[in-house]
Amino acid sequence: MSPRITELEVTDIRFPTSLQLDGSDAMNPDPDYSAAYVALRTDDPTVEGYGFTFTIGRGNDVAAAAIRALAPYVVGRPAPRTAADLGTVYRDLTHDSQLRWLGPEKGVMHMAAGAVVNAAWDLAARRAGQPVWRFLAGMSPEELVGLVDFRYLTDALTPDEALEILRAAEPGRAERAARLLAEGYPGYATSPGWLGYDDGKLVRLAKEAVTDGFTQIKLKVGADLDDDVRRLRLAREAVGPGIRIAVDANQRWDVAEAVRWMQALAPFDPYWIEEPTSPDDILAHAAIRRAQPARVATGEHVANRVMFKQLLQAGAVDVVQIDAARVAGVNENLAILLLAAKYGVPVCPHAGGVGLCELVQHLAMFDYVGVSGAWEDRAIEYVDHLHEHFEDPVVLRAGRYRAPEAPGFSARMLEDSVAAHRYPDGPVWQEQTPSAAPPERTGDTAHRTTN
């Protein structure tokens, strides 16, 4: 008999990264990288799955509560194994009318659905004995299309068009998978560019990134124009003319301010401007793209496949940045990959945070093997934070992500790390001074629902 899901466990895990200003930017000056962490247990102790949604501290308990609200949709059902099973899980989690009212298909509830959907993918890939990127690459074009919710998309992408894209990529899958295993997938380094770092640290980390084999780095901008001009000049002098430097404003600007700022930075040849304005404002992105020389990139806060569709339809974006934990998991990210392929726009995933590099590498690698068939002008963001807390952490060599070979979604955290960083009662948080630790909250830090 197939095992059944018996338990949904949610744990509030936080890391005090604000103490060193790791992750600091113009909009988020004091992030504590956090995960509302999901474990799906079954009546077979060898069958389980893990997932999470990422936050930056306060609010992680809200995300955890939203995940708990989804327990009735998974507890008691057979553990997923096939594409059809995973399509059903995704639809059940995103189509409940009363929960959907909170979005619809956006915000904390949608991110919660993504955490559970991704845990289901981890579970199914573990059962198959394959990493998620290979698990996806082993599915037929028809199975893959069946994973996607095409509602609201057919004016831009129909199921038949998606089938055509996937069938065109199918003959080269084995060759591209072999190349991926041999060479790895390109990455780019964000670690040098946090706004809280002083100039000396910026220059040192930028040079180290080039030494480590990265051909692109990224700097945070948007707090002070004079500071940004100085920092970008220093970075360009440190890495030379042959290295791409992307910049990221984290939604800081209105249109006119974005144009003025990017024109001032233009002498240093910024490769793209990321999140220049509100992630919901398609027309503003289009206007910024027209009025200054850098490419426009966005996606880490884009709420769903419909917003990505509009960005592409409006010619508002040059680089699509999927996020493994922002939308409703693998299924919705597959829809976005297909939209990007239809419009011929490269995908450079957002990563960093807690475990986002671990997750999104699978999606980018599957895009190369099974959807776009390309990695030119594509790279996965890399941030050298917190990987040591994962059972199957990312591995980079010479600026490239090595393809994961362990079964699953690389989402499982080490038990000692979970225990140490559980909020607010884990020892890491008990050791924080009142001024350093976020406000305490009441209520359980872990919740189990059984059937």
Tell how far CA 266 is from the center of its chain.
28
Pairing, β 396-397 against β 400-401: antiparallel
The crossing angle, in degrees rounded to 10, of helices 329-343 and 305-313 is 10
**Sign of the dihedral defined by the CA atoms of residues 376, 406, 389, 93, in that order:** positive
220: annotated active-site residue: yes
**Assigned token pair, 309:** 């569709």
The answer to whether 224 touches 252, Cβ cutoff 8 Å, is no
d(CA 181, CA 183): 6
Q: 375 by DSSP, 3-state: which? A: coil
The answer to whether 417 touches 231, Cβ cutoff 8 Å, is no
* Amino acid identity for residue 347 in this structure: V
Q: If you write DSSP's letter for every residue of 425-450 in order, what string do you get?
A: TSHHHHTS-TTTSPPP--S-SEEEEE
d(CA 93, CA 74): 9
Nearest by Cα to 42 from 1, 13, 93, 101: 1
The answer to whether 338 touches 165, Cβ cutoff 8 Å, is yes
**Assigned token pair, 313:** 């339809």
In degrees, rounded to 5, the angle at the alpha carbon of residue 328 between the alpha carbons of residues 400 and 407 is 50
**Assigned token pair, 153:** 């998309």
Nearest by Cα to 53 from 9, 98, 92, 108: 108
The answer to whether 215 touches 186, Cβ cutoff 8 Å, is yes
Helices marked H in 191-273: 199-211, 225-239, 255-265
* Amino acid identity for residue 246 in this structure: A
* Amino acid identity for residue 427 in this structure: P
Pick the catalytic residue from 106, 110, 218, 220. Answer: 220
Pick the catalytic residue from 350, 385, 387, 389. Answer: 350
Which residues carry out catalysis? 220, 350
